[in-house]
Amino acid sequence: MKNPAHHNVVGHHRTPLRLSRQRRYLVYAIGWALWSSGAAWLVCHYFLMTKGPFGDTPSPLEPWWLRLHGAMAFGALWSFGLTWGVHIVAGWKTGRQRVTGGVAVGVLVWLILTGYLLYYLTDDTWRGVSVLAHWTIGLALPLLLAVHVVLGRRRAKRKA
């Protein structure tokens, strides 16, 4: 339900919706490092395996990409919490951008759940399911956020 009162309050003063420049850059940097490390792991894993004397041998870089990814995943949790407090709840109350914003939140929760499962699933089949559910959705994250940002800016410009 749209709440006209909120719409006016938050719509006129954009500040509560936006992260400070420094924090925004930090959130973007963490996001790109997260995505790139996941993508780099995929490239190593699916394209850079070499045939060694004991079968398929992973690239020596592969575990490093995963370590970076794991570290950035913690950073992403911090970013998500920050964004939740500064942007998401206030944005929701404006009634705008709910579809792409809501889907982005859903995707983040999905990545957190499927990522968490990777630590503890030991059954090969179920681990495989979780890995696939994790990275296919993960690769699409920047596209989704780009649509959200572009639509958000266009709307903000039209209003101004």
For ligand HEM, the binding residues (CB under 6 A) are 14, 17-18, 34-35, 38-39, 41-42, 66, 69-70, 73, 76, 83, 87-88, 91-92, 94, 96-98, 101-102, 104-105, 108, 111-112, 115, 118-119, 131, 134-135, 138-139, 141, 145, 148-149, 152-153, 155-156
- CB nearer to ligand HEM: give 43 or 54: 43
Alpha helices in 48-123 (DSSP H): 62-83, 89-94, 98-120
CB-based contact 80:108 (threshold 8 Å): yes
Shortest gap between Cβ of 109 and ligand HEM (angstroms)? 9
Tell me the C-alpha distance between 63 and 77, whole Å.
Answer: 21
- CB nearer to ligand HEM: give 53 or 116: 116
Tell me the C-alpha distance between 150 and 153, whole Å.
Answer: 5
Shortest gap between Cβ of 48 and ligand HEM (angstroms)? 13
For residue 100, give both structure tokens: 């792409």
- With 0-12 / 13-18 / 19 or more C-beta atoms within 10 angstroms meaning exposed / middle / buried, residue 133 is middle
Tell me the C-alpha distance between 62 and 48, whole Å.
Answer: 9
User: Dmax over Cα atoms in the chain, in whole Å?
Assistant: 69
Shortest gap between Cβ of 47 and ligand HEM (angstroms)? 13
- CB nearer to ligand HEM: give 12 or 51: 12
Tell me the C-alpha distance between 69 and 35, whole Å.
Answer: 8
Shortest gap between Cβ of 55 and ligand HEM (angstroms)? 17
- CB nearer to ligand HEM: give 53 or 99: 99
Shortest gap between Cβ of 53 and ligand HEM (angstroms)? 24
